[in-house]
Structure 1
Amino acid sequence: MDMRKTDLMEYKNYYGSVHFNTEEKIFYGKIEFIRDLVNYEAYNAEELINAFYEAVDSYMEDRKILNKKPDVPFKGSFNFRVTR
């Protein structure tokens, strides 16, 4: 799948995907780059942005209630250590 910069939204250091279902005529996405599954959907682009913001806020609040740290999106670096 081709993920261009315009395919992602950012909010509070979380990234959300943007997709459109032509049959259902609905926008949808999920918070990317975390282990937990958090989805959102809307009928237009502006509502999708707001749904993404609400999904991130709700995810962070739910994790706080459960006394668990929210997953943090990956940093894009890979550390590799070798012996001398």
Structure 2
Amino acid sequence: MMDYKGYKAQIDFDDDAGLFVGEVINTRDGITFSGTSVEELRNAFRRAVDDYIALSSDMAASAERPYSGKIVVRVNPILHHAIAVCARRDGKSVSAWIADRLAEAAGVDGKVG
């Protein structure tokens, strides 16, 4: 995982092409980049984010701010208690338990990274 100006990128290796490939994961817009070394990949990531922000400025649109990974949810006290009981039963914090349930519902990997 790479981080630059609040944008987070998931990195994979394409063995056929011999390239590291990255994709910014905390925005709806598709921002991708690649490199043959860690340094080249890091520079390509920073360039891609900077270009994205500049392009958005030039188009009179604002760049989508990266998702922070923080969600504030208000629930009634009875539900809060029930969630805490479930989290304790599973040996997790309330936040970790809720993140797991949301990831299951969304069909995605909920690991915080």
State the Cα RMSD in Å: 1.5
Alignment of 1:29-44 (within 5 A): 29-44=22-37
Q: How many residues align?
A: 76
Higher strand fraction: Structure 1 or Structure 2? 1
State TM-score, norm by structure 2.
Answer: 0.61
Structure number with greater Rg is: 2
Distance across 2 between alignment mates of 1:46 and 1:29: 13
Q: Which runs of 5+ in 1 are unaligned?
A: 1-7
Alignment of 1:7-46 (within 5 A): 8-46=1-39
- Answering whether residue 61 of structure 2 is matched by residue 76 of structure 1, we say no
Structure 2 residue aligned with 1:67: 60
Name stretches of at least 5 consecutive residues in structure 2 with no aligned partner. 77-113
Q: Which has the higher contact order (CA 8 A, sep 6+)?
A: 1
Aligned-residue offset at 1:79: 2.9
- TM-score w.r.t. length of structure 1: 0.80
